[in-house]
Amino acid sequence: MGLLSPFSGIPVTQSSDSTEGTSSEQPLVEDFSRPTDYTAPVDAEAQNGIAMQPVATRTGSLRPRKTLSNGEPRQQRTFDLRRTATSLFTPERKIAPAPGVWRSIRSIIFASWLNVLLVFIPISWAFNFADKDQHTLIFVFSFLAIIPLAKLLAFATDELSMRVGQTLAGLLNATLGNAVELIVAIIALTKCQLQVVQSSLVGSILSNLLLVLGMCFFAGGIKFSEQGFGASATQLNSSLLTISVVAVLLPAAFRFSVTTQSDPDSGNDILKVSHGVALILLFIYGSYLFFQLYSHTTLYSDDSADIAKSTKYAPREHKFKLGKKGDATGTDLTSSAASPMETETAVTHEPEEEEVEEPQLSLYMTIGLLAVVTVVVAITAEWLVDSIDGLTDTGHISKEFVGIILLPIVGNAAEHVTAVSVSVKDKLTLSLGVAVGSSIQIALFVIPFIMVLGWILDKPLTMLFDPYESVALFLAVITVNYVVQDGKSNWLEGMILMCLYVILGTTFWFYPGTSDEFSSILPACH
């Protein structure tokens, strides 16, 4: 009996020869429910150089999938890159609608109590234009004026970081937190204040590693008995800091080991060594950015697997609430005897409320605030640098102390407040990203960038730092390496770091410096 084909309408029959002398007709209908194997022609594979593999779809039809020679999908790398870039600009939490203009202005005015110091901006400018001989007053008023500007810069940075991913937020906090140091260093470089440039950059690293990080550990240790952070990322950062310290010490070792005081080419040799080291440090910094933002982003996240859990202090009273059955202060044995299935079901169906971040500034107001504050900081920092010579000529204070202690306090004010505030919220990984990450940026980016800029501007700026500054930096890095190696922190470790910073500050108050000895072998700055 013939059957009509569902596609052509032609009767299709199949006859089979039977050994018993009987024949039967069976319908021949192609089964599309099971996919058949499909491979591309050999010549197509040879022509394109891409292996073709069958891919079954839901309906059973097949389409070829392009794969690489190692068997991975061809679009995998592109997808990973796109996913990484998307995660960098994807906020960690949901963002509420941005406020209006007047509400944003009100948020800027009441952003911090430090805004009362903004009155010193016109005062410092007025003294600079009226009487430039008042070096002490200009320095003090400019010093006080930059502190609230740095806080506003941190406020705008936080608003911008809220709209990006956590890794990029930490990078923004560290980068924009170093804007004050970078501006001061560039202005001092153009005015041939080479000693101030070197001292301020070394002092910024010391301030971040000892003062800021110590305050983070101490403030977080008041609320938590122990706080955990990413040990792998921190150890990597410690290695980068060690490399930067070695780069600082090598030109000094080259100076005392190879050259002599009477060698006329010793200064040029040190300049060439410094320029080469600066270029290598910039390459290391670029590799560090690729490592942090692309290849190993999970190491710098609060959800990293190697982060130890933070523990709070045990209550002083009623540490063990083991009451009787049904006791209000004890453990309910009836409820605790529930089956694992019931417990899992209860946990599974518990609704989770998504945390929403409410911005205080709109995006345009945030960018505008960053631009305005940066310009005002640059102008005020110029008055500050101009008054340093007149301040130190009195003999009451040295340039070493101004560069190592005072200028970093102004530049790190924003980072100090940001890092300490998030450490109390048990976000110590972000605090380390701000404090230690900022030190890495200064050591691997700001210092070599200033060296290259001095090379372009024909300024004899070298990595021949003061020997005592180099030793202090080395001791600070070694101490921080020992403190963070276990991936945990407490208030005592924070106090140790702060006390070490006070000890170094005391010694630098009496340290005269050796700038005259080094400047004699270098070309004159003009």
Report the predicted TM-score, pTM, of the whole model to 2 decimal places: 0.71
- Would you state the pLDDT for residue 454? 92
Residues 152, 108 contacting (CB under 8 angstroms) = yes
Domain boundaries, the chain: 93-312+359-519
* Cα–Cα distance measured from residue 431 to residue 310, given in angstroms and rounded to the nearest whole number: 14
Q: How many CA atoms lie within 13 A of 8 on its CB side?
A: 8
* Torsion sign (Cα): 357, 359, 364, 370: negative
Average pLDDT over every residue of 302-319: 57
Higher-pLDDT residue of 432, 311: 432
CA 477 to chain centre: 18
**Which pLDDT band holds residue 55 (cuts at 50, 70, 90)?**
very low
Q: What is the mean pLDDT of the chain?
A: 74
DSSP per-residue codes, 292-345: IIIITGGGGSTT-TTBPPPEEPPPSS-S-----TT-SSS--HHHHTS-HHHHHH
Distance, first Cα to last Cα, the chain:
107
**Is the pLDDT score of 503 beyond 90?**
yes
Across 88-97, 109-118, 325-334, which has the greatest mean pLDDT? 109-118
Among candidate residues 86, 87, 99, the one with its CA nearest the CA of residue 364: 99
- Would you state the pLDDT for residue 92? 66
Average pLDDT over every residue of 381-396: 85
**Is the pLDDT score of 347 beyond 60?**
no
Residues 145, 380 contacting (CB under 8 angstroms) = yes
Average pLDDT over every residue of 229-254: 82
Among candidate residues 219, 107, 211, 160, the one with its CA nearest the CA of residue 439: 211
Residues 464, 253 contacting (CB under 8 angstroms) = no
Higher-pLDDT residue of 80, 296: 296
Task: Lowest mean pLDDT of 41-45, 153-157, 286-290, name the range.
Answer: 41-45
**Which pLDDT band holds residue 255 (cuts at 50, 70, 90)?**
confident
Following CA atoms 242, 247, 253, 255 in sequence, which dihedral angle do they give, to the nearest 10 degrees?
-160
**Is the pLDDT score of 485 beyond 70?**
yes
**Is the pLDDT score of 452 beyond 90?**
yes
* Cα–Cα distance measured from residue 517 to residue 60, given in angstroms and rounded to the nearest whole number: 83
| Radius of gyration for the chain, computed over Cα atoms and rounded to the nearest angstrom | 33
Q: Is residue 393 helix, strand or coil?
A: coil
Angstrom distances, CA of residue 153 to CA of 100, 146, 275, 366, 416: 20, 10, 31, 10, 12
CATH superfamily of 93-312+359-519: NCX, central ion-binding region (1.20.1420.30)
- Would you state the pLDDT for residue 80? 58
